[in-house]
Amino acid sequence: MRRIVMQQIRRLRPLLLMLFVVAGGACIDYQETIQVNRDGSVEITVYATAVKAAMPMIRNRPELRQLMLLPAEPDKARALLGSDVDVLWWQVEDGDGIRVVDAKVRIRSIDVINRNIGRLVASDHFEVYRDDNGNWRLERRIPAYPIDPALGPARDWLSRQFADSNLEFTLRVPTRILDTNGERLDGQTVHWQTNLAKLRQQGFVMEATIEAPSQRPLLIAVGAAVLLGLAGVVFVRRRRTAEVC
Chain centroid offset of residue 169 CA: 8
Measured CA angle at 22 (ends 21, 23), to 5 deg = 105
Q: Count the helix, strand and coil residues of the chain and give each as a percent rounded to the nearest 5.
A: 35, 35, 30
- Termini Cα distance of the chain: 103
How confident is the model at residue 221, as a pLDDT? 42
Could you tell me the pTM of the whole model? 0.67
Please report, in tens digits, the pLDDT of each residue of the chain (245 residues total): 333 333 333 333 333 333 333 333 344 577 888 898 888 788 888 887 766 555 544 444 444 455 666 788 888 888 877 777 888 988 888 777 677 888 888 888 776 666 666 556 655 677 888 889 989 898 888 777 666 566 566 556 656 656 667 788 999 999 999 999 999 988 999 999 988 778 777 888 999 999 987 754 434 444 444 455 555 544 444 444 445 45
pLDDT attached to residue 181:
95
Distance between CA 191 and CA 179 in Å, rounded?
13
Looking at the chain, list the stretches that DSSP marks H as alpha helix, in order from N- to C-terminal side: 2-9, 55-58, 62-69, 74-81, 113-116, 154-163, 196-202, 216-244
Q: For position 13, what pLDDT does the model report?
A: 31
C-alpha count within 13 angstroms, C-beta hemisphere, residue 132: 0
By DSSP bridging, strand 166-172 and strand 29-36 are parallel
C-alpha distances (whole Å) from 227 to each of 115, 222, 231, 233 are 40, 9, 6, 10
